[in-house]
Amino acid sequence: MAQVTIITLGKLQKYDGLIKSYIGSQVSDGVKDSFKSVAIDGYTLKFYTVKTPGKDAVPAYTIDLPETDLSNLITKMTGAVAGDVVVAKADGTVADGGVKLADLAKTTEVETKISESEGKQNTKIQANTDAIAKLNGAEDVEGSVDNKIKTAKTALDGEIAANKKVLDKLDGTVDTDGSVKKQIKTASDALQEQITANKNVLDKLDGEVSVEGSVKKQIADVKKELEQTITDSEYNDTEVRGLITANKTAIDTLNGEGAGSVKKAIDDAFNDFSTKVSDDGVVNTYKELIDYAAAHKGEAATMAGDIAANKTAIANLDKKVGNLPEGTDAATVVDYADKVSAKALADAKKYSDDLAPNYATAAQGAKADTALQEADVAALRTDVADVKASLADGGATDVAIKAAKKAGDDAAAAVTALADGQVATNKSGIATNAADITAIKGRLDTIEGTTYVEATDKEIEAMFAAE
């Protein structure tokens, strides 16, 4: 442990008394009167005969304080005259100056200068004492060593606390904002969400027929739609038979003798012709003609011509009613109606036979219920192609998987960057702080290991003891 000896303010008073006595013993009363000013240079007191010595002024007398051995510095002068002022020569020796000290200064003036010098020295000593006291002051004294150590320690503690706070944050739990664990968990959760989303898409595509959007459901929907189309377009034997029956009924009606038949239409027309009487007062019907002939027998000849004309008209009417299409081999209208009915039945049967290949039988329909139709295969191929396209490079699923992988890579890169960046910086800062703490601790150990011992009276007196 180091030990330093210091002179306290109380001991400086003893030092002051001893140095005054020492100076007084070195300068005679005669010499004192010639001194105008005194200065100290290192451990040497210099006495001048002028009040304000210049830079190159030579002191009239010098005294080296006991810190330096002066026994071999000043040799005894030859030819000295008592009362003369001693002057220094260029070679460092002194000689009789040839001037009486009494002629240079009064003793009171020298004492005044010495007193002024002592005052200045005391001021400097007091300043040094105050400075030492300030340095040795308590930790709440501004400028003291303890205060500076406390300030440095407080600042260091603040930096350590800040670094610890950052490290605690980085080393926090998954619930701590900014912690490495939470950042990793956040990235992991995002990646897991993306993976789950992709899995849900794949599970949906690979789901059962009850899962909306699955391949099986899409195939089932297409199959159901196709079956419905087949059902809607199936051959309806009852409907066709109904049409045939309706046609046959109509033909039978035409061939009959009742209402709607050709025969009844002709009979009704003939009866109407032969019995109809108009109300216009003109003979223009068959009945009116008969009645007119009966009433006008005398006009038989004339009427004969008219009857002939009427017969011709009736013949023409009969021909018109029974007018057959050109090219027919039917002899009568009834015969023609029979042929038309037979042809209608044949056409209806041919129409039904022509439609039959377009419709499935009951057995074929049952087989179609379980058979995979071409449309199903085409739809399935399209769905498989869509899935392959989605999984292929650039597809939706491929992009989603790559995005999920990128999110994971980005999270890992962020963690690495954090470890290489801020964490490394914090570690470096902590290492630097640790080195600074070690250095400060070393200085504190040095300060704390130094013992300050007050100089004793004997030690101070020994400074002025003759060797």
Kindly state the average pLDDT of the residues 370-388: 61
Contact by Cβ (8 Å): 173, 179: yes
Same domain, 202 and 145: yes
| More confidently predicted of 70 and 57 | 57
- Short-list 318, 337, 336, CA closest to 327: 336
Q: Which of residues 206, 223, 252 is at a domain's end?
A: 206
| Amino acid code (one letter) for 208 | E
Contact by Cβ (8 Å): 396, 204: no
Can you tell me the distance from the alpha carbon of 48 to that of 37, in angstroms, rounded to the nearest whole number? Answer: 5
Q: What is the pLDDT of residues 411-460, one digit of tens each?
A: 666 656 655 666 567 667 667 766 777 776 666 666 666 676 777 777 76
pLDDT of residue 454: 72
| More confidently predicted of 373 and 40 | 40
| Token pair listed for 409 | 């890579």
Contact by Cβ (8 Å): 196, 203: no
Same domain, 115 and 164: no
Instruction: Using a pLDDT cut of 70, give the percent of the chain over it.
Output: 35
Contacts (Cβ under 8 Å, ≥6 apart) of 358: 233, 235
Kindly state the average pLDDT of the residues 150-169: 73
Contact by Cβ (8 Å): 344, 179: no
Residue 13 lies in a domain: no
| Radius of gyration, alpha carbons of the chain | 73
pLDDT of residue 113: 64
pLDDT of residue 73: 44
| More confidently predicted of 405 and 197 | 197
Distances (CA, A) of 84 to 28, 29, 45, 58, 374: 11, 12, 19, 16, 145
Can you tell me the distance from the alpha carbon of 376 to that of 382, in angstroms, rounded to the nearest whole number? Answer: 10
pLDDT of residue 74: 46
Q: What is the pLDDT of residues 89-148, one digit of tens each?
A: 666 566 776 666 555 555 455 556 666 766 777 777 777 677 777 767 787 888 777 777
The two counts, helices (H) then strands (E), for the chain are 17, 7
Same domain, 147 and 131: no
Q: Which of residues 93, 120, 136 is at a domain's end?
A: 136
Same domain, 148 and 169: yes
Can you tell me the distance from the alpha carbon of 133 to that of 138, in angstroms, rounded to the nearest whole number? Answer: 10
Q: What is the pLDDT of residues 266-320, one digit of tens each?
A: 667 667 666 666 676 665 666 666 666 666 566 556 656 666 666 666 566 555 5
pLDDT of residue 50: 84
Same domain, 148 and 201: yes
Distances (CA, A) of 28 to 80, 84, 86, 114: 15, 11, 12, 14
Burial state string for 157-176 with b = 16 or more CB within 10 A and e = fewer than 16: eebeeeeeebeeebeeeeee
- Short-list 368, 382, 375, CA closest to 222: 375
Instruction: Using a pLDDT cut of 90, give the percent of the chain over it.
Output: 0
Q: Is residue 467 predicted with pLDDT exceeding 60?
A: no
Residue 320 lies in a domain: no
Can you tell me the distance from the alpha carbon of 448 to that of 389, in angstroms, rounded to the nearest whole number? Answer: 80
Residue 407 lies in a domain: no
- Angle of CA points 97, 101, 105, to nearest 5°: 130
Kindly state the average pLDDT of the residues 12-25: 63
Residue 152 lies in a domain: yes
Residue 131 lies in a domain: yes
Q: What is the pLDDT of residues 164-223, one digit of tens each?
A: 777 677 777 878 887 777 777 787 777 678 777 777 776 777 778 788 877 677 777 777
| Token pair listed for 322 | 């029974």
| Token pair listed for 141 | 């004294």
Residue 433 lies in a domain: no
Kindly state the average pLDDT of the residues 43-66: 79
pLDDT band at 69; cut points 50, 70, 90: very low
Residue 382 lies in a domain: no
Contact by Cβ (8 Å): 100, 118: no
Kindly state the average pLDDT of the residues 159-165: 72
pLDDT of residue 164: 72
Average pLDDT of every residue of the chain: 67
pLDDT of residue 322: 54
Distances (CA, A) of 73 to 21, 45, 63, 70, 80: 22, 14, 11, 5, 18
What is the domain count for the chain? 2
Q: Is residue 155 predicted with pLDDT exceeding 70?
A: yes
pLDDT band at 345; cut points 50, 70, 90: low
Asked whether the CA dihedral 429, 430, 435, 441 is positive or negative, the reply is positive
Residue reference for tokens 């890992």: 412
pLDDT of residue 362: 57
Same domain, 201 and 185: yes
Same domain, 132 and 143: no
pLDDT of residue 68: 46
Contact by Cβ (8 Å): 129, 7: no
How many C-beta neighbours within 10 Å does residue 12 have? 18
Same domain, 185 and 131: no
- Domain extent at residue 194: 139-206
- Short-list 222, 106, 143, 192, CA closest to 411: 192
pLDDT of residue 70: 40
pLDDT of residue 77: 60
Can you tell me the distance from the alpha carbon of 440 to that of 230, in angstroms, rounded to the nearest whole number? Answer: 97
pLDDT band at 83; cut points 50, 70, 90: low
pLDDT of residue 51: 81
Same domain, 116 and 171: no
- Short-list 139, 169, 134, CA closest to 154: 139
pLDDT of residue 422: 62
Annotate 35-90 with DSSP letters as a single string.
--EEEEETTEEEEESSSS--TTPPPSEEEE-TTS--TTTSPPPSS--TTEEEEE-T
Residue reference for tokens 């980005």: 410
Q: Which of residues 155, 184, 206 is at a domain's end?
A: 206
Same domain, 149 and 193: yes
Residue 201 lies in a domain: yes
